[in-house]
Every structure is written in structure tokens, then in C-alpha cells.
Chain A
Amino acid sequence: MTTPTLMPYDEALGRFEPVLGVETHVELGTASKMFCGCATTFGAAPNTQVCPVCLGLPGSLPVANAAAIEATIKIGLALNCSIAEWCRFARKNYFYPDMPKDFQISQYDEPLCFDGYLDVEVNGEVVRVGIERVHLEEDTGKSLHVGGATGRIHGADYSLVDYNRAGIPLVEIVTKPVEGTDRLAPEVARAYATELRELMRALGVSDVRMEEGSMRCDINVSLMPRGSSEWGTRTETKNVNSLRSIERAVRHEIERQAAILADGGTIIQETRHFHEDTGETTSGRSKEEAQDYRYFPEPDLVPIAPDRAWVEELRAGLPELPSVRRKRLRSEWGVSELDMQAMLNAGAVEPVEATIAAGATPADARKWWMGELARRANESGTPLAELAVTPAQVARVAALVAEGTLNDKLARQVLEGVLAGEGEPDEVVAARGLKIVGGDEELGAVIDQVIADNPDVADKIRSGKVAAAGALVGAVMKATRGQADAGRARELILEKLGAA
């Protein structure tokens, strides 16, 4: 593989404007396949979830899965699309063994949903990404290439195909060309995919796991010279399997295409493959023309004509959408969009919300989940939401701090105990003897001893050097093995030495 020549990003953006497009495939989380009753469980043994319909055996007939139709309409509505009054499935014909029928059932010129948009936020600004269409099709089988290098087709001797995935309902969401993103094109592409993923989760239609392939993005990029309004030739980059890769792939294509165009070359309309390891794309096949697929209406499936009352019912039943929810929580919790993004990325929004519902203040809930618990989740490589502590327990710890039974340091030890399976926060407090050295009388006795032990420091404070109190507070904390309220100890020290 030769390393392509790249133009530095800033220079590329100085000379060209990118036009962006994203095609996303989302595997729906239905129990059965799109056109037959085969199970859809991920990771099953090869060819154990197949039947005559998805194997394309003679005499079998497909019947559309009602839940998949409903999920697709919900996606369309959430993306502000119009829902077709009447539409058909179509056969997309091609010779490739990932479909045993030699065609894929898809939709062609009559998508179920069309003409919508999704607003995404990049650096605090809202970018509206137009949605061209949302259509329903079936996923293909999985090929394993044997012989040759690294499991790729080139140089392979033969391929082994598993049809478990063939026929799983797949929704394709295609954006309109996105112009005017300028140098933020990579970030916009990533923000769009992130928002789309959140939306699918909120709708509950897919588990959208990019690493398992249940959400896959193809990235279209073209460049036009600054000042021009005529779009250049685009390339379509496949194999982009993480949010970070989306950003890298767009950036790489901009740098690669700019180098070619600046050198007087032309961009070939083709499919390119993204390589996770190098962050580069390499040429795949030249893109087939739509006519080469010889699309025609699928004769084995009758048209879909979603009843308008049903569509309105689905619209009314849509959950609160992620962007609206974030906005609401942001104002309720008094946090910035940056903080909200940090919580989203850490998977902390749901736990924080539940902790607040269990009685904690927004500030406390956020502090524990984004601080101590995020640190522990990070250390153990566990998703935050899967830590062995419940929002109710976190709320109880926050309450114990608020009522003065614990300080932050002790609270961390209580959480450690809860995570270690030592029981409820109160049980950990009791079992480990983790209580702040209580009332002023008890604390006062410790302070008297500390003052007696440090006459020099005490004199300094008496003569007005209030800052020296820190040393005595430290000594109090040491004497109580950290189980004192440092703030109250300081107040008492200053009071006793007449410096308050």
C-alpha cells in the first residue's frame, strides 16, 4: 500500500470547501428477522438462525415484520420526516454471496420516510443536517475470507459465509449533502452520528453498538474550490466503525482529495475503505450505477400504506428526544453544555438523574458520579452505569455528608465499601466506624490537646497570623485519622485562640 499524498488540513481548508454526506445503517433490535421468524441473536453459531426464506430457497415467501415497520416510522418521525402514504419494497440485484438470493430486498425510489432533519450541536452552535430518506431493507450475511492477507478479499482463495445476519431488519438513514460546515466538517459528521445514536437509544429501536456493527456509517466527502458553488466528485468511505473514526475519515479524505485536486488531478467516484490502524482510506471498487442493480418492485411483498391515524398515534407516543432532554436537564441542573457533554460521554446522565430522583442535589449527584465513581469506573474498566452501586446508595452517601455525619474523605471510603459489597452505606459507616468526630465538645478536646502540643503555632495565630491555623487543622485531622470536619475544626481553633 502506498501512502497517499496529503495536503495539511489548514491549507486544504484554505483552498477548498468540503461537502459532507453520511449514510447510516442501523440494525433494528427486533426479536425476529425482517421477512421471516428466524432469531436475530448476535454471536450465535454460524448458520443456526436461518430458514428457507432468508436462504432464498425455492417456494419460500417473505412477510414483513410489523415491529420493523413501526420502528422505521418512529425513526422517521423523530427525524422530522414525512411518512409515505404508500410505498413498496424493491429488489436490488447483484451477484455477491453475502445474499443467498442474489438480491437484497430494499427500497428504491419509494422510501418509507423522507425529507426531514436532525439538529446537532458543535462547539455550542446548532447545525441542521437535512435527512434525505429513511428506508427499510434487510442485512446481508457475513463473509470470512480465507487465504491471502488479513482476512481481506484481495488475495483470498475462497470465502466462508454465515447467513445468520442475512435478513435482519436494517434501516438506512441518508443525509442530504451538508454544506457550509467549513473546517468543522469532521466534527459535524461525528456530532451527527453521536446524536443519531442517542436518538436510536431513546427510541429503543436498536442497541446501536458500532463495535458489533449494529450501527455502521458510510461517509461521503467532496471538495469544491473556494468561491465555487459546483460540487466536486465524491467518494464514499466504508468500514467506519467508531465515532472517532468518522472524524478521522472525513479529515483524511479532505486532506487526500485536496492534494489530488491541487495537483491538477481528478477524484474518482468510488468506494473507499477506512483503516482503523493508520487512519487512512484505500480504494475499493468503482461505485456501481443504480441501474446496474436493476431495481424493480418486489413482487413477493405487497405495498405498505401506513394508516394516518396510526402514524399520528406513533408520533404522539415518541419519547422525549435526546436534544430536548439534554436542554431540560441542563437548565434543571444548572450545568453548561460542556459539562453535559462530559456527562454524556461518561455515561453519567442516567445515574445522575436517578440519584437526584433519590433525593440528592444536582451538584452532589454530579460530583460523585463524575468524580470518585468515574475514577473507579475508569480504573476497573467498567461502564459507570454498571458499577456495583445504586443511585439510591449514592444519594444516601450525599445525605450523610450533607447532615455532617461524613466528610468527603470518609464518604469516599463508604463508597469503596459499598462497591466492595459490604452492604448499604449506613452498614459500611457502622462496620468501618466511619463517623466524623462528632460534636464541638469531642472535637474541642482534640483541639485543646493540639494547641497544647504546638505552642509556637498557637502563639502565631494569637498574634494575628490566621494562615498558620492550617497547620493545626492538619494536626487535628491527623489525630482523628481524618474523621473530623475540617471546616468546623478551623472555626473552633480560631475561636479558642481569640482570632475568630
Chain B
Amino acid sequence: MSAITRDEVAHLARLSRLALADDELDHFAAQLDQIIESVARVREVAAGDIPPTSHALPLTNVFRPDEVRPGLAPDDALAAAPAVEEDRFRVPRILEEEA
């Protein structure tokens, strides 16, 4: 039985804004299935008393003082923008969602 269904792949594709064709969905569903199964092998060695790792370093509480530091000049900040208008990043219209 597969670890991920074709419908779930279609849903993920929608969330990721990827337009996948039907045959691509089948293709990626099979690939993702393999990946999930490989990763799931960790379960075979991980006992219940081992918490999942989220960070490789055993550090906590790394903070910076609340001090203002210079950022980018507006021209530099906007330099990589695909389009600029009125010193703002210009982006295509957003459908179906409201801020």
C-alpha cells in the first residue's frame, strides 16, 4: 500500500503552486512514495524514548540585543525585484485570497 495517494500529491501541488499534468501526478506519486518509505526506515531504529531531532546543535537561547543596525539601501533592496513601482515590489495579482 502506498504511503501517499495521488490525491494528496495533487493537493500538495496546488499548495506549492505547481501545475502538474495527470501523468506527472502519477510519476511524482510513485517517486514521493519511495522517498517516504525510505525515510520511514528511521522508525525501525527510533525507540519511543528518543525525541525527534529538529536541530543538529545542542543550543538554546541564542538571542541578539534589541539594537538597530543599518539594512539595505532601497535601490539595493529592490535591485533583484522582477518589477518595481513606487519603490515597492510589484507582483502579479493574487487570486482567491485576501489579506
Binding site for B on A (CB under 8 A): 30-32, 36-39, 45-52, 54-55, 57, 63-69, 86, 88, 93, 95-98, 100, 140, 143-147, 152-154, 156-163, 271, 273, 284-285, 292, 294, 296-297, 299, 301-307
Q: Do A159 and B15 have beta carbons less than 8 Å apart? A: no
Interface residues of B in 83-99 (CB under 8 A from A): 85-94, 96-99
CB within 8 Å for A292 and B88 given contacts A63-B62, A299-B55: no
With A37-B67, A160-B86, A302-B62 in contact, do A47 and B15 touch (Cβ < 8 Å)?
Answer: no
Q: Does B17 contact A (CB under 8 A)?
A: yes
Q: How far is the CA of A66 from the CA of B61 in the complex (A)?
A: 9
Q: Which B residues are closer than 8 A to A by beta carbons? A: 15-17, 54-55, 57, 59-72, 74, 77-78, 80, 85-94, 96-99
Given A32-B67, A284-B98: A160 and B88 interface contact (C-beta under 8 Å): yes
Given contacts A32-B66, A160-B88, A302-B62, 10 further A-B contacts (CB under 8 A): A36-B69, A46-B74, A50-B77, A52-B72, A55-B77, A65-B63, A145-B93, A158-B90, A284-B98, A292-B15
Q: Are A302 and B89 within 8 A (Cβ)?
A: no
CB within 8 Å for A163 and B64 given contacts A285-B96, A297-B54: no
Which one of B16, B64, B80, B85 contacts A37 once the chains associate, using CB atoms below 8 Å? B64
Nearest first, the 4 closest Cβ-Cβ pairs linking A and B are: A37-B69, A51-B71, A67-B66, A297-B54
Option from B63, B69, B70, B98 in Cβ contact (under 8 Å) with A153: B98
Contacts of B86 in A (CB 8 A): 46, 160
Cα A238 to Cα B66 with chains together (Å): 30
Contact between B55 and A302, CB atoms less than 8 A apart? yes
Partner of A63, one of B63, B77, B88, B90: B63
How far apart are the CA atoms of A45 and B86 in the complex, in Å? 10
Residue pair A159, B64 in contact (C-beta under 8 Å):
no
User: Contact check: which of A46, A153, A301, A302 meets B94 at CB < 8 Å?
Assistant: A153
B61–A273 CB distance below 8 A: no
Least Cβ distance of B25 to chain A in Å?
18
Complex contact A47–B89 (CB within 8 A)? yes
Of the candidates B15, B16, B57, B64, the one whose C-beta lies within 8 Å of that of A302 is B57
Picked from A39, A51, A153, the residue with its CB within 8 Å of the CB of B97 is A153
Cβ–Cβ contact B71 & A37, under 8 A:
yes
Q: What's the least CB distance linking B54 to chain A, in Å? A: 4
Q: How far is the CB of A139 from chain B (nearest CB, A)?
A: 12
Also in contact, A37 and B62, with CB within 8 A (given A46-B87, A160-B85)? no
Partner pick for A46 among B16, B17, B68, B88, CB 8 A cutoff: B88
Decide if A96 touches B88 in the complex (CB within 8 Å): no
CB distance from B51 to the nearest CB of A (A): 11
Chain B residues near A86 (CB-CB < 8 A): 60
Residue of B nearest to A65 (CB): B66
Inter-chain CA distance A88–B63, complex, in Å, is 13
Chain B residue contacts of A271, Cβ below 8 A: 98
A483, chain B: closest CB distance, angstroms: 57
Which residues on the B side are within 8 Å of A69 (C-beta)? Answer: 63
8 A-B pairs in the complex with CB atoms less than 8 angstroms apart: A36-B71, A47-B77, A65-B64, A68-B66, A93-B15, A160-B91, A299-B55, A305-B60
A46-B86, A47-B89, A160-B88 are contacts. A97–B94 as well, Cβ < 8 Å? yes
CB-based nearest B residue for A30: B66
A98 to B98 CA separation, bound complex (whole angstroms): 11
Asked if residues A144 and B88 are in contact (CB atoms below 8 Å), the reply is yes
Q: Is the CB of A55 within 8 A of B65?
A: no
Q: Judging by beta carbons under 8 Å apart, are B98 and A152 in contact?
A: yes
The chain B residue with its CB closest to the CB of A297 is B54
Residues A66 and B68 in contact, CB atoms below 8 Å apart: no
